[in-house]
């Protein structure tokens, strides 16, 4: 490894040395395809926009494009389109590759080019790929890849976009440097690096002194940030180290080529591509909940209304079953003494207790990388079982559950094949077994649950308590959702529907006076009580439990 004696036995390397040979021959400009297509809306939108400045950066990225062709649009110039993926059986993302000039604010510079390209190509994420300069050999060696956690200029400091930032934390997982001899050089990936973005290297040393936490200096990134900020798009910078800021200033061009190859390889890592598309294409409507059960337009993002529920773990003992309270729902992945790493997890509870809302919550937490334990899963699938009754094959389940956008780049066959071959990276949530009916001889849902299919996938099934018997046997561990077990939870949830804190106090007093605590434990009924409180009948609030249920039923019938 450059700058030190590494554990793979390679000698100390510096910029005057040639880098280790790559496992492929770098492209030359003369190798670029001559295939050209007239500009068309059929190209759009793309999933990923790659921005480069130097030829070596552009060529390194182009090496990984599949089925590439170029097209021309006067506002951004030539654009190379292609797919990202190992072969036709993998997830294929639509990618656009654009080259811009060095100066970020110049016409055609990274800011102008990125702004025009983002508005025209409508990518889900924009990535600036290329080479950079390490601030010291202790922080990053020659060839190492740095992924931005924040970008610092002389006038501001900003973190990378949240969703992409969460994703790239594990960008090094499973990645192998594309070297002819993997033992010749150890290439590290720093997934949490601060970049200094400069116009050139002349003032970089002084900026390094002002920002001692910076790992590397890059050129052009501030233009990308400005464009991404203006267009409200996800962005990240991925660059390989080609030299040191305090070096001789005469970088060996072969190290630039090597650094760009490493950065492009990390950017195009197939398993990360899968996670990228699943995060960026998350169906936002699936992660919303209705605040009025009969009104679709009342749907709001789940994070605005979700209130943590009380959970218990069932423990089977010779003396009978006992229940242990969980601190957080993610404790279900910790297992028990019988199943240290459970893959079949049963969640049950009363009607309206929040089982389906939990499913949306775990999907939201995964898509936003809010729970560390969920990040080991590259694929998260949420399937409503009532939508897949009578399906005979898991592929049919994927189609019927409408998991994929109709105009998306991922084919159902590709998703199915990926799941089959990467089961340990898949979390499958099957919601509402009590609503599932299958009259066919073979039920793919039950075969999955029993481990006859997708044995190594992690599977969560939710159901009402009455349907538990059929599912308990194959399950590794069981959990019950108890809803809101204390007044703090009830007040927090009610506060999302009522107009003021004073109103919440009066409302909870009403619940106490009418002995309605047990109703308020159930989120659906508590929401109905809040609706009733906000819009009481003309003759006033019901004075009995029977009257409350009568009003619930009448409200539903009215709508």
Residue 358 has pLDDT above 70, yes or no: yes
**Mind listing the pLDDT tens digit for each residue in 464-504?**
988 788 898 899 999 999 999 999 999 999 999 998 999 99
Contact call for residues 218 and 196 (beta carbons, < 8 A)? yes
Give the list of residues 6+ apart from residue 545 with CB closer than 8 angstroms, or none: 514, 515, 516, 519
What residue ranges define each of the domains in the chain, with the CATH number in brackets? 37-277 (3.40.50.1580), 288-483 (3.40.50.300), 487-558 (no CATH)
Q: Mean per-residue pLDDT for 300-314?
A: 88
pLDDT score at 396? 81
As a whole number of angstroms, the distance between CA 299 and CA 358 comes to 16
Instruction: Indicate the range of 6-10, 111-115, 333-337 predicted with least confidence.
Output: 6-10
**237 vs 285: which has the higher pLDDT:** 237
Pairing of strands 299-301, 157-159: unpaired
| Residue 302 CB neighbours (<10 A) | 18
Pairing of strands 234-244, 189-198: unpaired
**Mind listing the pLDDT tens digit for each residue in 499-535?**
899 999 999 999 998 888 989 999 999 998 998 898 8
As a whole number of angstroms, the distance between CA 266 and CA 277 comes to 16
In sign, the C-alpha dihedral spanning 239, 244, 245, 251 is negative
pLDDT band at 160 (very low <50, low <70, confident <90, very high): low
CA nearest to 267, candidates 171, 376, 186: 171
| Alpha helices (H) along 407-500 | 412-421, 444-449, 469-472, 487-494
Whole-prediction pTM = 0.59
Q: What is the pLDDT of the chain when averaged over all its residues? A: 81
pLDDT score at 279? 44
Q: Mean per-residue pLDDT for 264-286?
A: 59
């Amino acid at each position: 490894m450059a700058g030190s004696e590494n554990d793979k036995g390679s000698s100390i390397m510096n910029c005057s040395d040639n880098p280790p040979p790559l496992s492929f021959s770098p492209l030359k400009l003369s190798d670029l395809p001559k295939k050209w297509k007239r500009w068309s809306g059929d190209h759009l939108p793309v999933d990923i926009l790659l921005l480069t400045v130097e030829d070596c950066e552009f060529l390194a990225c182009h090496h990984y494009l599949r089925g590439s062709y170029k097209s021309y649009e006067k506002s951004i110039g030539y654009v190379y389109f292609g797919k990202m993926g190992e072969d036709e059986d993998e997830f294929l993302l639509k990618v656009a590759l654009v080259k811009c000039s060095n100066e970020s604010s110049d016409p055609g510079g990274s800011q102008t080019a990125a702004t025009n390209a983002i508005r025209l190509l409508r990518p889900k994420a924009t990535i600036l790929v290329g080479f950079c300069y390490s601030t010291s050999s202790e922080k990053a060696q020659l060839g190492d890849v740095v992924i931005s956690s924040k970008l610092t200029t002389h006038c501001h400091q900003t973190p990378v976009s949240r969703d992409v930032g969460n994703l790239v934390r594990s960008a090094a997982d499973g990645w192998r440097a594309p070297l002819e001899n993997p033992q010749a050089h150890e290439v590290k990936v720093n997934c949490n690096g601060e970049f200094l973005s400069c116009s050139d290297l002349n003032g970089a040393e002084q900026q390094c002194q002002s920002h001692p936490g910076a790992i590397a200096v890059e050129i052009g990134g501030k233009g990308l940030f400005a464009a991404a900020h203006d267009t409200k798009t996800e962005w990240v910078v991925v660059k390989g180290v080609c030299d040191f800021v305090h070096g001789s200033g005469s970088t060996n061009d072969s190290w630039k080529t090597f650094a760009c190859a490493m950065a492009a390889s990390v950017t195009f890592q197939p398993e990360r591509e899968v996670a990228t598309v699943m995060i960026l294409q998350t169906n936002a409507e699936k992660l919303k909940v209705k605040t009025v059960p009969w009104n679709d337009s009342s749907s709001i993002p789940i994070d605005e209304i979700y209130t943590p529920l009380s959970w218990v773990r069932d423990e089977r003992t010779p003396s009978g079953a006992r229940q242990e309270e969980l601190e957080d729902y993610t404790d279900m992945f910790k297992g028990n003494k019988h199943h240290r790493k459970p893959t079949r997890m049963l969640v049950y509870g009363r009607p309206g207790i929040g089982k389906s809302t939990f499913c949306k919550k775990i999907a939201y937490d995964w898509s936003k990388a809010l729970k560390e334990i969920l990040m080991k899963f590259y694929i998260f699938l949420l399937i409503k079982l009532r939508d897949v009754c009578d399906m005979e094959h898991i592929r049919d389940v994927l189609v019927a559950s409408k998991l994929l956008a109709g105009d998306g780049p991922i084919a159902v066959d590709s998703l199915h094949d990926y799941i089959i071959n990467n089961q340990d990276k898949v979390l499958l949530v099957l919601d509402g077994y009590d609503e599932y009916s299958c009259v066919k001889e073979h039920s793919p849902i039950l075969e999955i649950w029993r481990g006859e299919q997708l044995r190594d996938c992690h599977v969560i099934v939710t159901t009402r308590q009455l349907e538990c018997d059929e599912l308990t046997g194959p399950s590794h561990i069981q959990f019950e959702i108890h809803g809101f077990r204390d007044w703090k939870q009830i007040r927090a949830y009610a506060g999302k529907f009522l107009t003021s804190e004073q109103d919440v106090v009066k409302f909870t007093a009403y619940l106490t006076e009418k002995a309605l605590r047990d109703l308020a434990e159930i989120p659906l009924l508590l929401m109905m009580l809040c609706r009733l409180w906000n819009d009481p009948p003309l003759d006033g609030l019901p004075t009995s439990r029977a009257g409350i249920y009568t009003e619930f039923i009448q409200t539903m019938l009215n709508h």
